[in-house]
């Protein structure tokens, strides 16, 4: 597990890790994070926002996340198009990245990431800790990014050295 932590007056700040609604600020951070993939995606990419229909609120969270993509300005080099998809439909979809809603961090997700060689981002720390998803990302109250290296290796996703330097290994 790798962690990026905020510094304040030379001390690490302890934070609570409740999931917050993935919003347009998180989408912009995701766009910047994608630049550190080797090789980085360019042009238009599809982002699957995966949900688990068996988990209460997962579908609604996926719809809210998909809307957050339309609420952001698009980048010059990466234009992201998000679409909600159930866990069952994930392997039948084409995508370059995944945002995982509550309850979607399952072996089905992990297998789809491996077969698509795709990066997964979530606001649910438990999914990254379990290795179902690779990156925990939150912008509330400050930006916190955590990377599960074993999960990225399993999906054959590689990050530039600069990205790994910006995060702290636990």
Domain CATH code at residue 47: 3.40.50.2300
pLDDT reported for residue 73: 64
Q: What is the pLDDT of residues 91-119, one digit of tens each?
A: 999 999 999 999 999 999 999 999 999 99
Q: Which domain holds residue 77?
A: 24-169
Contacting residues for 90 by C-beta, under 8 A, at least 6 apart: 48, 50, 98, 108, 109, 112
Q: Is 154 helix (H, G, I), strand (E, B) or coil?
A: helix
Cα-based angle 84, 101, 91 (whole degrees, multiple of 5): 55
Per-residue confidence (pLDDT) for residue 140, from 0 to 100: 85
How far is residue 58's CA from residue 156's CA, in Å, rounded to a whole number? 27
Look at residue 9 in the predicted model and tell me its pLDDT: 35
- The answer to whether position 141 is within a domain reads yes
Task: Tell me the whole-structure pTM to 2 decimals.
Answer: 0.84
* In-domain check, residue 31: yes
Contact criterion met (CB below 8 Å) for 114 and 155: yes
> Is residue 81 a part of any domain in this protein?
yes
Give the integer Cα–Cα distance in Å for 145 and 43: 24
| Span 82-96, average pLDDT | 95
- Domain-located, residue 46: yes
In a domain, 11, yes or no: no
DSSP string, 85-104: EEGGGGGGS--SEEEEPTT-
Residue 3 scores a pLDDT above 50:
no
- Number of folded domains that form the chain: 1
């Amino acid at each position: 597990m790798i962690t990026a932590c905020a510094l304040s007056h030379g001390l690490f700040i302890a934070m609570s890790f409740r999931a917050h609604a993935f919003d347009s600020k998180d989408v912009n951070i995701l766009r910047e994070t994608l630049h550190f993939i080797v090789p980085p995606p360019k042009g238009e990419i599809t982002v699957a926002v995966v949900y688990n229909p068996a988990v209460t609120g997962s579908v609604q969270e996926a719809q809210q996340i998909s809307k957050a993509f339309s609420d952001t300005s698009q980048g010059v080099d990466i234009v992201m198009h998000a679409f909600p998809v159930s866990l069952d439909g994930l392997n039948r979809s084409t995508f370059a990245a995944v945002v995982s809603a509550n309850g979607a961090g399952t072996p089905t997700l992990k297998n789809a990431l491996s077969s698509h060689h795709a990066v997964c981002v979530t606001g649910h720390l438990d999914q990254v800790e379990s290795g179902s998803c690779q990156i925990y990302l939150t912008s509330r109250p400050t930006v916190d990014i955590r990377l599960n290296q074993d999960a990225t290796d399993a999906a054959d996703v590689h990050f530039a050295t600069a990205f790994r330097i910006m995060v702290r290994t636990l």
